[in-house]
């Protein structure tokens, strides 16, 4: 089963100093942090902040190509967590043919923001991520979960590079 999520914000992991995309379930307080690279976080931040660049960035180019090829992106799905790595699929349609494209979640999220398409996470990924983090370090994962769930709009302010 797929759970619809929204991007709640971007933040920096205080321990690793790596960016985190925080996804939040639209129907509950469940959050899913996904650690991403600096460049991918920047691409997401640019779209969240509606910053226009003088030339198309990579995800803008992909959006333009898809639109130019009359391809509709239906949704993106974070569909797997394997060896602490998240996987995603971009579901699109062109000329009546449905196509699924393997993607890094960060790229799929950046594209979803630009195309205003829904974001989903497989229920099993949510369960596995909780189990995996609990198995790795129960105290810190519980603290992280509580901290993430308690974040407000001011805490998730503007992402700074």
Q: What is the pLDDT of residues 116-153, one digit of tens each?
A: 999 999 999 999 887 554 444 444 555 666 666 666 66
Domain contains 158: no
Determine, yes or no, domain membership for 154: no
- 83, 160, 114, 69 alpha-carbon torsion, rounded to 10°: -80
Evaluate whether residue 156 is within a structural domain: no
Query: What is residue 138's predicted lDDT score, i.e. its pLDDT?
Result: 44
Q: Is 116 left (phi over 0), alpha (psi -120 to 50) or beta?
A: left
- What's the CATH number where 43 sits? 3.10.690.10
Spatial contact of 109 and 152, defined as CB atoms under 8 Å apart: no
Residue 138 located in a structural domain: yes
What global pTM score does this model have? Answer: 0.81
48, pLDDT greater than 80:
yes
Condensed to tens digits (0 to 9), the pLDDT of residues 63-74 reads: 999 999 999 999
- The reply to whether 160 falls in a domain is no
Q: Is the pLDDT of residue 97 over 70?
A: yes
Q: Residue 123's domain spans which residues?
A: 2-149
Domains: count for the chain: 1
- Is 127 among the domain residues? yes
Distances (CA, A) of 90 to 8, 52, 60, 124: 20, 24, 16, 18
Q: Is residue 133 in a domain?
A: yes
Does any domain span residue 155? no
* Nearest alpha carbon to residue 39 among 64, 16, 55, 59: 59
């Amino acid at each position: 089963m797929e759970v619809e999520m929204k991007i709640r914000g971007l933040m920096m992991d205080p321990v690793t100093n790596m960016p985190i995309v925080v996804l939040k379930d639209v129907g509950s307080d469940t959050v899913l942090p996904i650690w991403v690279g600096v460049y991918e976080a920047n691409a997401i931040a640019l779209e969240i902040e509606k910053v226009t660049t003088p030339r198309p960035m990579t995800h803008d180019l992909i959006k333009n190509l898809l639109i130019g090829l009359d391809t509709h992106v239906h949704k993106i799905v974070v569909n797997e967590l394997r060896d602490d790595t998240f996987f995603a699929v971009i579901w699109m349609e062109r000329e009546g043919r449905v196509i699924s494209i393997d993607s890094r979640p960060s790229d799929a999220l950046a594209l979803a923001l630009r195309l205003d398409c829904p974001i989903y996470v497989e229920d099993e990924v949510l369960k596995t991520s909780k189990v995996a983090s609990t198995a790795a370090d129960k105290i810190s994962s519980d603290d992280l979960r509580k901290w993430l769930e308690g974040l407000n709009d001011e805490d998730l302010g503007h992402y700074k590079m």
